[in-house]
Copies of this chain bind each other. A is one copy, B any other.
Amino acid sequence: MSALNIPESNLKRVVVIGGGFGGLKILNQISSKYYQVVLIDKNNYHNFQPLLYQVATSGLEPDSIAYPLRKILWKKSEFYFRNTKALKIDSENKRLVTEAGPINYDFLIIATGSKTNYFGNKVIEEKSMALKSVTDALNLRSLILENCEASLLTSDLEERERLMNYVVVGGGPTGVELSGALAELKKHVLPKDYPDLDLRRMNVHLVEATDTLLGTMDPKAGEKAKEYLTKMGVNVWLNTKVENFDGSTVKTNNKELPSKTLVWAAGVSGNLIDGLDSKSIERGRVLVDQYNRVEGYDEIYCIGDVCLMKSDENPNGDPMVAQTAIQQGGLLAKNLNSLAKGKEMTPFSYSDKGSMATIGRNKAVAEVGKFFFDGILAWLVWMFVHLMALVGFRNRVVALINWTQNYITYDKGIRLIIRPFKNREKD
């Protein structure tokens, strides 16, 4: 038995850190004929990040977008899961140090994903809300509902306005989808819940530093998203940079927005782990070769958001999205299987399957290959793709029921402050 109580085996041991999109793909493709596989994750569930904004805005319950990691390993022999936090790589001794003790590896795969990037602004980090984890989403859901309740309880009109306003920073898919969902709450749900609140005073602001929304997509997507959002009542501020936030006013380079709630979705950086040589790190990500092997290490691999695979044609690496992690995870698993069979490994190349974002009811933008489309067709495709991507039959059915009911009734039913956000750490 090792320190994590993993039975010894004649097979080589692959330790995977992180049960996100990339980690799951490894588990799915690697062969237990050749390897014993140990998954380490600080959470016991896989979390479908693209739908976190729906949890935050009461459209889906958190349990629909999360899936127990152990259930994914059911009936797989030679696969182990340990629910603990990875702390440090000790590459000399080929072991990973975790909160529950060290574990030896033959191969280590870093699949730790990304975290919110505050670009060093500690004040914003402390005072803003993020949207990267299920806990973040539940905290934001509680806070939005608490803000509404608190607005009713104050007679101070300025305070009320600050409680009702939202500033979402970052015009990527998360920011666009969240501000659209907030506009829908304002239009369809809150007027029925709060007939005695003057909702004309509620403002949703989307702030983006560059001159376009959805900057990674076709320029038409950004324009269309801006048109949709503006029509839905969202104030879109392009070329605007948030500089400070004191908890009640958001200061940008060109205006002040009165709001107690700032949601920071303006960037991510690699979720690094200690112990790698600094030469292997660039721009907060782990440098890998075309086989996802970490520069300078033979037995350590890295996939997904946390890695940076540069090439001459592609100096910034592939996009930090689920597709990259899935494709790299799939290929790496196959490559490790090949390695065990003495075959050659295949170098990675990213295949763009397209991208999309939903803004609201019947409103989405999608890009597939050279085709761009929007409106209800894009919206239906978005729903279908996301529904199918959820792990587990139950989750799909429950999400479908929620979406169907939301569509028919214009309602979002899960408006529960189950754990108040007040007085809680953000973890």
Task: Name the CB-closest residue of B to A75.
Answer: B192
Q: Does A392 contact B (CB under 8 A)?
A: yes
Are B413 and A71 in contact (CB-based, < 8 A)?
Answer: yes
- CB contacts under 8 Å to B, within A56-103, are 61-64, 66, 68, 70-71, 74-75, 80, 82-84, 100-101
- CB contacts under 8 Å to B, within A385-414, are 392-394, 397-398, 401-402, 405, 411, 413-414
Contacts of A135 in B (CB 8 A): 418-419
Q: Does A196 contact B (CB under 8 A)?
A: yes
- CB contacts under 8 Å to B, within A133-154, are 134-135, 138, 145-146, 149, 152-154
Task: Name the CB-closest residue of B to A405.
Answer: B394
CA distance A63 to B60 in the complex (A): 9
Q: Does A34 contact B (CB under 8 A)?
A: no
Task: Name the CB-closest residue of B to A145.
Answer: B44
Contacts of A419 in B (CB 8 A): 135, 138, 419
Are B418 and A66 in contact (CB-based, < 8 A)?
Answer: yes
CB distance from A44 to the nearest CB of B (A): 5
Contacts of A149 in B (CB 8 A): 44, 82-84
Q: Does A194 contact B (CB under 8 A)?
A: yes
Are B153 and A68 in contact (CB-based, < 8 A)?
Answer: no
Are A413 and B74 in contact (CB-based, < 8 A)?
Answer: no
* 9-residue interface stretch from A1-9, A170-178, A352-360: A1-9
Q: Does A193 contact B (CB under 8 A)?
A: yes
Given contacts A7-B196, A193-B70, A194-B70, contact A417 B153 (CB under 8 A): no
Q: Does A416 contact B (CB under 8 A)?
A: yes
Contacts of A402 in B (CB 8 A): 394
Are A63 and B100 in contact (CB-based, < 8 A)?
Answer: no
CA distance A101 to B134 in the complex (A): 34
Contacts of A80 in B (CB 8 A): 196
Q: Does A228 contact B (CB under 8 A)?
A: no
Q: Does A43 contact B (CB under 8 A)?
A: yes
Q: Does A45 contact B (CB under 8 A)?
A: yes
CA distance A381 to B145 in the complex (A): 36
Q: Does A415 contact B (CB under 8 A)?
A: yes
Contacts of A193 in B (CB 8 A): 68, 70-71, 74
Q: Does A155 contact B (CB under 8 A)?
A: yes
- Given A4-B153, A5-B154, A138-B419, output 12 extra A-B contacts at Cβ < 8 Å: A44-B145, A44-B415, A61-B398, A63-B63, A63-B416, A70-B193, A70-B194, A80-B196, A82-B149, A83-B149, A392-B413, A394-B401
A-B contact pairs, 17 of them (CB 8 A): A1-B155, A4-B153, A5-B152, A5-B153, A63-B418, A68-B416, A70-B194, A71-B193, A71-B411, A74-B193, A75-B192, A80-B196, A82-B152, A83-B146, A83-B149, A393-B405, A394-B401
The 7 closest A-B pairs by CB, nearest first: A61-B63, A83-B149, A70-B193, A68-B415, A100-B153, A45-B416, A44-B417
